[in-house]
């Protein structure tokens, strides 16, 4: 083998790719990062149109608490990023029920306990079980070195934690709703609405379908160093990209990788701007896109399994608005989760997540105006079965429903709309390159299959997947952690040192 251009080529600067690239650069690897857009972040980016700046998809992020990945990166690399720990994080509104999602667990639970005739003891028992399971799983996820594959030290640390893992046993292979039923809470409507709402945005399915340990763990979403990134998540994505280049990483924006070709012992990364050779590839892509870029025709059990799970998932329908906020609105960024009819699926405009920039988000909109990102789920398999004209009609009807839900459930934020743009799965496919616009990763519907790929194998020799389709996946923080985990593995294979920049002690 001659001298290769790079140790590792990372395809895609979403948070999975950014996490892997930065972490590899921290370890001294020679890394190429190719991104087809002219800005990083993918589904978690901030884009500019008509002089306004909008969050493309993701708007609220965990991982900014001490000892957590984003916090540690901000400290270690002196990233110019400000986190606003807004309170409440989210305002949930449904007919006859409102809740402020607070960063403080007791403050959130207290709202359920204060509901007249609430089953207080059962609620406390349910949330105590939830906290035990979430603690066990987050402590693993926040310490990427505790995710598989394990070395002897990690096995010892896991052995010491076995009592913490025991509560998991009763939840594995069961839907979240069965845990509720065990606590006699299946008919307590406010909790049911809350769980359906948070499950839909985290594990991407309703409480009745959600694999309980995943859903119980992601219920901690609001309590885990969660906040708003001042100016938009793009500022974090850019800061991570710059930290990567300041460590010697080679970042190439507007560089779409057209194909990945396996040569004897390395990969060729082909784009219109050049062809490079790297020992290993990290693909921040959906499994279907890996297949396309590598021109893989034969069966591949891992990619095939993941592809099938992705295709059981979602596309996003979006409204991007410029609004004048209601008089008396606070200066902080604001997030609203609206449910028009809790008896219907939390999708297709019946449920919307709506994020409004704050006054301190400079550059997002002129003084006195705010930008708003509104999203809802659409089942992509259903959409794909329709003729093109019917697809367009369905997307339009979902957007109409989103507007109605906003008008009915948050009239004060919908009263003065100055500008609106729309987006659909086709928009996501076009901008992020994601196969048919599938977003949100793999719905964690009940099943033991989810535990099978906790150790994602290489998709192809020396080619690893990162992003929301591989464990831990499914949020901006989780995809970045997955990237770090892959970096750790590749650094070991390349004989590189452990990360110098982050010396986080696992709890
Ligand atoms: C509407 C919506 C709302 C969400 N809300 C939240 C939220 O509030 N909080 C949260 O934590 N998560 C949220 N998420 C989930 C979160 O955005 C994702 O889990 C995460 O951003 C996915 O990152 P990724 O690394 O998997 O991939 P992506 O973000 O898809 O990044 C992949 C990157 O690869 C690039 N690329 C693709 N093909 C090529 C190629 N051939 N060559 C070069 N580059 C290429 C793309 O341009 C893109 O930048 C939301 C997602 C959506 C869609």
pLDDT at residue 140 greater than cutoff 90: no
pLDDT at 161 over 80: no
Q: How far is the CA of 490 from the centre of ligand 1 (A)?
A: 22
For residue 143, pLDDT beyond 90: no
Residue 299 in this model has a pLDDT that exceeds 90: yes
Asked if residue 145 has pLDDT above 80, the reply is no
**Is a pLDDT exceeding 50 seen at residue 504?**
no
Handedness of CA 125, 127, 131, 133 (dihedral sign): positive
Average pLDDT over residues 182-201: 97
| Residue range(s) occupied by CATH 3.50.50.60 in the chain | 6-55+232-310+439-494
Ligand 1: atom nearest CA of 353 is 3
354 CA from centroid of ligand 1 (Å) = 18
In this prediction, residue 237 carries a pLDDT of 98
Instruction: For ligand 1, atom 45, name the residue with the nearest CA.
Output: 12
pLDDT (average), residues 482-504: 79
Q: What is the pLDDT of residue 245?
A: 98
Kindly give the interhelix angle for 69-76 and 476-494, rounded to the nearest 10 degrees.
70
Report, as an integer, the average pLDDT of 441-457.
Answer: 90
Give me the sign of the Cα torsion angle 127, 133, 134, 136: positive
Residues with Cβ within 8 Å of residue 356, at least 6 apart in sequence: 323, 325, 333, 334, 335, 336, 370, 371, 372, 413
Give the model's pLDDT for residue 136. 86
For residue 392, give every residue at least 6 positions away whose Cβ sits within 8 Å of its Cβ, in sequence order, or none.
Answer: none
Q: Is the pLDDT of residue 208 over 50?
A: yes
**d(C-alpha 163, C-alpha 166), whole Å:** 5
Q: Does residue 492 carry a pLDDT above 90?
A: yes
CA distance 129 to 15: 31
Compute the average pLDDT of residues 288-309. Answer: 97
Please check whether residue 204 is in contact with residue 442, taking contact to mean a CB–CB distance below 8 angstroms: yes
Task: Mention every residue, 6+ apart, whose C-beta is less than 8 A from residue 219.
Answer: 130, 134, 195, 198, 202
Does residue 406 contact residue 340 with C-beta atoms inside 8 Å? no
Give the position, in ligand 1's atom list, of the atom nearest the Cα of 439: 53
Q: What spacing in Å lies between the alpha carbon of 345 and ligand 1's midpoint?
A: 24
| 310 has a pLDDT exceeding 50 | yes
Q: By CB neighbour count within 10 A (0-12 exposed, 13-18 middle, 19+ buried), where does 470 fall?
A: buried
Count the Cβ atoms, other than its own, within 10 Å of residue 398: 22
Residue 149 has pLDDT above 80, yes or no: no
Q: How far apart are CA 85 and CA 358, in angstroms?
A: 12
Tokens 């449920």 appear where?
351
| Ligand 1: centre distance to CA 214 (Å) | 20
Nearest CA to ligand 1 atom 37: 433
Distance CA 318, CA 307 (A): 24
Taking 80 as the threshold, does the pLDDT of residue 497 lie above it?
no
Ligand 1 pocket mutation pick from 19, 284, 469 by most atoms within 8 angstroms of CB? 284
What size, in residues, is the chain? Answer: 507
| Ligand 1 centroid from CA 3, angstroms | 33
Alpha-carbon span 432 to 443, nearest angstrom: 19
Q: Please choose from 11, 14, 201 the residue to mutate so as to test ligand 1's pocket, defined by most ligand atoms within 8 A of CB.
A: 14
The hierarchical CATH code for the domain 6-55+232-310+439-494 is 3.50.50.60
Q: How far is the CA of 492 from the centre of ligand 1 (A)?
A: 27
Q: What is the CA radius of gyration of the chain?
A: 22
Q: How far apart are CA 20 and CA 341, in angstroms?
A: 41
Band (pLDDT 50/70/90 cuts) for residue 148 is low
Above 70 in pLDDT, residue 431?
yes
pLDDT at 28 over 80: yes
Q: Do strands 266-271 and 250-252 pair parallel, antiparallel, or not at all (unpaired)?
A: unpaired
pLDDT for residue 218 is more than 50: yes
Query: Rounded mean pLDDT of the chain?
Result: 93
> Average pLDDT in the 465-481 region?
94
Give me the pLDDT at residue 455, please: 82
For residue 151, what pLDDT band results from cuts at 50, 70 and 90? Answer: low
| Cα 467 to ligand 1 centroid, rounded to whole Å | 7
Residues 90-115: pLDDT tens digits? 999 999 999 999 999 999 999 999 99
Ligand 1 atom at shortest distance from the alpha carbon of 428 = 53
Q: What local confidence, expressed as pLDDT, does residue 355 receive?
A: 98
**Is pLDDT at 366 greater than 60 in this prediction?**
yes
Q: Determine the pLDDT at residue 409.
A: 98
Rounded to an integer, the average pLDDT of 18-35 is 98
Share of the chain above pLDDT 90, in %: 87
CA distance 381 to 309: 11
Provide residues with CB under 6 Å of ligand 1.
Answer: 11-17, 34-37, 42-44, 57-61, 256-257, 284-285, 316, 375, 432-434, 439-441, 467-468, 474-477, 479
Structure confidence at residue 474 (pLDDT): 84
User: Which residue out of 9, 11, 12, 46 has the highest number of ligand 1 atoms within 8 Å of its CB and is therefore the one to mutate?
Assistant: 12
pLDDT in tens, 246-277: 999 999 999 999 999 999 999 999 999 999 99
- Give the C-alpha separation, 240 to 112, whole Å: 39
Q: Given this model, what pLDDT does residue 144 score?
A: 57
pLDDT single digits (tens) 44-60:
999 999 999 999 999 99
Alpha-carbon dihedral sign for residues 236, 242, 247, 248: positive
Residue the block writes with tokens 């990788």? 257
**Cα 91 versus chain centre, distance:** 20
Ligand 1 centroid to 14 CA: how many Å? Answer: 5
């Amino acid at each position: 083998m001659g001298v290769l251009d790079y140790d590792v080529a990372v395809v895609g600067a979403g948070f999975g790719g950014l996490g892997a690239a930065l972490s590899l650069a921290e370890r001294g690897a020679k890394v190429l990062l190719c991104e087809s857009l002219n800005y990083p972040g993918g589904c978690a980016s901030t884009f500019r149109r008509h002089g306004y700046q909008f969050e493309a998809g993701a708007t609220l992020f965990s991982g900014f608490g001490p000892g957590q990945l984003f916090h540690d990166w901000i400290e270690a690399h002196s990233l110019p990023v400000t986190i606003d720990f807004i309170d409440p994080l989210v305002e949930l509104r449904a007919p006859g029920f409102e809740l402020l999602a607070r960063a403080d667990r007791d403050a959130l639970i207290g709202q359920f306990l204060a509901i007249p005739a609430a089953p207080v003891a059962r609620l406390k028992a349910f949330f105590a079980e939830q906290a035990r399971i979430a603690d066990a799983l987050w402590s693993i996820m926040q310490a990427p070195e505790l995710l598989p594959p394990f070395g002897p030290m990690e096995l010892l640390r896991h052995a010491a934690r076995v009592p913490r893992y025991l509560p998991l046993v009763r939840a594995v292979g069961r839907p979240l709703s069965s845990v509720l039923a065990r606590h006699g809470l299946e008919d307590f409507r406010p909790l049911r609405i809350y769980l359906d709402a948070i499950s839909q945005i985290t594990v991407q399915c309703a409480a009745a379908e959600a694999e309980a340990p995943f859903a119980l763990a992601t219920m901690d979403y609001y309590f885990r160093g969660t906040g708003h990134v001042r100016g938009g998540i793009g500022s974090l994505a850019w800061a991570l990209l710059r930290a990567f280049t300041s460590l010697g990483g080679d970042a190439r924006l507007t560089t779409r990788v057209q194909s990945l070709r396996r040569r004897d012992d390395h990969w060729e990364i082909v784009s219109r701007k050049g062809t490079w050779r790297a020992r290993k590839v990290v693909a921040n892509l959906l499994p279907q896109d890996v297949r396309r870029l590598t021109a893989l025709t034969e069966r591949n059990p891992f990619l095939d399994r993941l592809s099938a799970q992705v295709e059981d998932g979602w596309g996003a329908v979006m409204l991007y608005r410029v609004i004048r906020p209601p008089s008396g609105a606070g200066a902080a960024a604001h997030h609203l989760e609206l449910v028009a009819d809790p008896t219907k699926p939390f999708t297709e405009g019946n449920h919307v997540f709506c994020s409004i920039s704050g006054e301190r988000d400079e550059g997002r909109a002129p003084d006195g105006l705010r930008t708003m990102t509104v999203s809802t789920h659409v089942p992509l398999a259903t959409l794909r079965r329709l003729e093109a004209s019917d697809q367009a009609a369905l997307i339009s009807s979902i957007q109409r429903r989103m507007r109605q839900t906003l008008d009915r459930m948050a009239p004060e934020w919908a009263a003065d709309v100055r500008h609106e743009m729309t987006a659909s799965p086709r928009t996501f496919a076009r901008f992020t390159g994601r196969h048919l616009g599938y977003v949100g990763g793999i719905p964690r519907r009940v099943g033991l299959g989810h535990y099978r790929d906790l150790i994602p194998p290489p998709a192809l020799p020396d080619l690893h997947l990162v992003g929301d389709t591989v464990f831990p996946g499914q949020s901006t923080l989780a995809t970045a952690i997955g990237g770090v985990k892959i970096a750790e593995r590749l650094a070991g294979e390349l004989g590189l040192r452990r990360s110098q920049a982050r010396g986080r002690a696992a709890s």
